[in-house]
Amino acid sequence: MSAEGVSEVAGASDRFLRACRREPVDLTPVWFMRQAGRYLPEYRAARADRDVLQMSRIPEMAVEITLQPVRRLGVDAAILYSDIMVPLAATGVEVRMAPGLGPVIDEPIRAPSDLSRLRPLDPDSDIPFVLEAVRMLRRDLTVPLIGFAGGPYTLASYLVEGRPARDHPRTRALMHGDPAVWEGLLDRLAGTVLALLRAQVAAGAQAVQLFDSWVGDLDPGDYERFVLPWVSRIFEELAPLGVPRIHFGVGTGELLALMRAAGADVVGVDWRVPLDRAWDRVGRDAAVQGNLDPAVCLAPWDAVERKALEVLRRADGRPGHVFNLGHGVFPQTPPETLERLVDLVHSRTAR
């Protein structure tokens, strides 16, 4: 852990939340998507041969794994260890995690009659283990806790394709070919997402991130028509809770302004768009999160440093930057690289 985390202006305990609100901070906060994950030997040891759905159901395990990167890396926020498929699996969708592949749904959702298989989420009875983990974490953590959910397009893509697929063609075919089923599907998913995020906040989550990871599949017109209304509804209904709302997707260069318009306080940016260019599209009245290419973290340190400093240079010390990767940590990443990266960002941004 770095020693710079204590300050009068904003210390490790709140610099992440302050940056989300574009308030002054003592130094730029850092966390990493998938920071609780396979690149950590202590994660692999704890998980053994269980999959993420099994792990998520054991609050003590979710807590331990959520804490691991906070302890080791000194990041400025924790993100709940869970999976975007947890609320679907908890409401009757048969999901299995196929090793090396990801979530598989043997009976995909494609017809009007399939929609009835998606029942509303009742967090207290369906996912008490998630809420218990959040409550336990708030007792242990000295940095803010981020709750999260999958975005409606991304959840739909898993349900419609039935398995991870490049570019998700059946999802967009359904969207264009049967808008009524699509809208019914997104209505249900938005309800589930909203119930999940509200419950996480009620249990103590201090920020939420909507991972609409695959929404970059869409052109702007389709995003605006087929996804944005549901994301707007989710963010609008979260607004009274007063926690920062982060919105992230991969390959969203053309969608950044719309993602902000949907109501995000913080827009997560992947590595393909230089951060200053991305911020121009998002608008300077919002915060941004990102955007070091996670593949760079597999290279020797001097390359990591060079590219990380480029991100900081493009952020230009403006209020409202949360340093992160442009997508999740790759499993082959050396933990030491992320430790050094936290220290680098902290030391180079100390005000």
Cα–Cα nearest to 212, from 150, 273, 257: 150
Provide the minimum distance between the beta carbon of 271 and a copy of itself in the complex, in angstroms, as a whole number: 6
Of 299 and 350, the one with the shorter C-beta distance to a copy of itself is 299
**Binds a copy of itself (CB under 8 A): choice among 296, 308, 312, 344:** 296
Written as one string, the DSSP assignment of 167-200 is T-HHHHHHHHH-HHHHHHHHHHHHHHHHHHHHHH
Of the candidate spans 17-25, 67-75, 129-137, 166-174, the one that interacts with a copy of itself by CB under 8 A turns out to be 166-174
# binding residues, a copy of itself (CB under 8 A): 40
Contact (CB, 8 A) for 246 and 286:
no
How far is residue 253's CA from residue 200's CA, in Å, rounded to a whole number? 29
User: If binding is defined by CB under 8 A, does position 163 make contact with a copy of itself?
Assistant: no
Cα–Cα nearest to 196, from 226, 152, 153: 152
Provide the minimum distance between the beta carbon of 49 and a copy of itself in the complex, in angstroms, as a whole number: 24
User: If binding is defined by CB under 8 A, does position 226 make contact with a copy of itself?
Assistant: no
**Binds a copy of itself (CB under 8 A): choice among 168, 245, 321, 340:** 168
Longest Cα–Cα distance in the chain: 58
What mask, x for binding a copy of itself by CB under 8 A, covers residues 191 to 220?
Answer: -------------------------xxxxx
User: If binding is defined by CB under 8 A, does position 171 make contact with a copy of itself?
Assistant: yes
Contact (CB, 8 A) for 218 and 257:
no
Other C-beta atoms closer than 10 Å to the C-beta of 101 total 10
Considering only residues 91-130, where is the footprint of a copy of itself by CB under 8 A? none
What are the CB-based long-range contacts (under 8 Å, 24+) for 7-14?
Answer: 9/351, 12/74, 12/76, 12/142, 12/143, 13/142, 13/143, 13/144, 14/144
Token pair of 6 as six digits: 């204590």
Of 46 and 301, the one with the shorter C-beta distance to a copy of itself is 301
Which phi and psi angles does 287 have, rounded to 5°?
A: -90, 160
**Binds a copy of itself (CB under 8 A): choice among 251, 261, 309, 343:** 251
Token pair of 307 as six digits: 């590219």
User: If binding is defined by CB under 8 A, does position 161 make contact with a copy of itself?
Assistant: no
User: If binding is defined by CB under 8 A, does position 330 make contact with a copy of itself?
Assistant: yes
Cα–Cα nearest to 40, from 5, 3, 81: 81
Provide the minimum distance between the beta carbon of 336 and a copy of itself in the complex, in angstroms, as a whole number: 15
* Helices (H), ranges, 211-319: 220-226, 228-238, 256-261, 275-282, 301-315
Provide the minimum distance between the beta carbon of 314 and a copy of itself in the complex, in angstroms, as a whole number: 10
Other C-beta atoms closer than 10 Å to the C-beta of 195 total 19
Residues annotated as catalytic (active site), given as ranges: 34, 38, 47, 83, 158
What mask, x for binding a copy of itself by CB under 8 A, covers residues 256 to 285?
Answer: ---------------xxxx--x--------
**Binds a copy of itself (CB under 8 A): choice among 22, 34, 57, 172:** 172
Of 16 and 32, the one with the shorter C-beta distance to a copy of itself is 32
Provide the minimum distance between the beta carbon of 91 and a copy of itself in the complex, in angstroms, as a whole number: 27
How far is residue 307's CA from residue 312's CA, in Å, rounded to a whole number? 9
Of 170 and 348, the one with the shorter C-beta distance to a copy of itself is 170
Residues that bind a copy of itself (CB under 8 A): 166-174, 176-177, 216-222, 251, 253-254, 271-274, 277, 293-296, 298-300, 303, 306-307, 310, 327, 330, 332
